[in-house]
Amino acid sequence: MNLKNKIKNGSTLGTWITIDHPVIYQSISEYPFDWVLIELEHSAIDFSGLHQAISFFKNTNIGCLVRPPIVDNIYIKRIMDCGADGIIAPNISSLEDVNDAVKFMKYPPEGKRGAGLFSAQNFGNNFDSYYHKNNKESVLVVQIENCDAVENLNEIITVKHIDALMIGPYDLTSSLGIAGEFENPLFLNEVNKIKNIARENNIPIGMHIVEPDPKKLIAARNEGYSFLGYGLDFKFIVSHLNSLKDIINEK
């Protein structure tokens, strides 16, 4: 089953990759994630590193999504040509933003993506099949992470190519003037608005659980989130080391 259908038909679990190294890819691939997110917005990964990461995961059963720094034609075209299964679109604020993401991801007639040859098209050997597969199977996840997006959400979700909505907790709290206050009623109220609109329109709803805590993952599943990002590569390291601080300081 392709990633688009997995997201549509059930609960999926993924994680973030920000460290450009094959040891990270191999370590993560040992676990049954449905997808990984290659982070270009908040990392030092360049397009060479992106291509290597996608090429690795193409040989696994794990789908490969990418978050560009912005919704931009050049970024998204190059991401898709590297072979990504889709994108998580950051900082969406309006219907126009989502339409741009679709336009940059999809070939005509659904979009306006330029038709070139690279890794996704097997360097020209399967251009025709990829062209049609991309328009049917490429994944678009829209991040809701600012007040404008929440206000415009009923309009945003009219775009038929949206596969899931994903709440960005850090940016959304920052937009509300309460950065990092995830138990603040202002944030929880916005989250409930997003969840209710998603459920009313049968759109999978997601959350990134940045701090890797199994209890938070279970709680999020119980709250109805079906597109879940869990932790990120360096957090798996840092969180464990933080738990050892007292022991380390006793030496």
Mark the ranges of the chain whose per-residue pLDDT is less than 50. Answer: none
146: left (phi over 0), alpha (psi -120 to 50) or beta: beta
Q: 189 lies in which domain range?
A: 3-249
pLDDT for 17: 98
pLDDT for 18: 98
Q: What is the CATH number of the domain that holds 49?
A: 3.20.20.60
Per residue in 89-118, pLDDT tens? 999 999 999 999 999 999 999 999 999 999
Number of residues that make up the chain: 251
Q: How many domains does the chain have?
A: 1
The pair of structure tokens assigned to 168 is 């960005």
- 3-class DSSP state of 51: helix
pLDDT for 247: 80
pLDDT for 30: 97
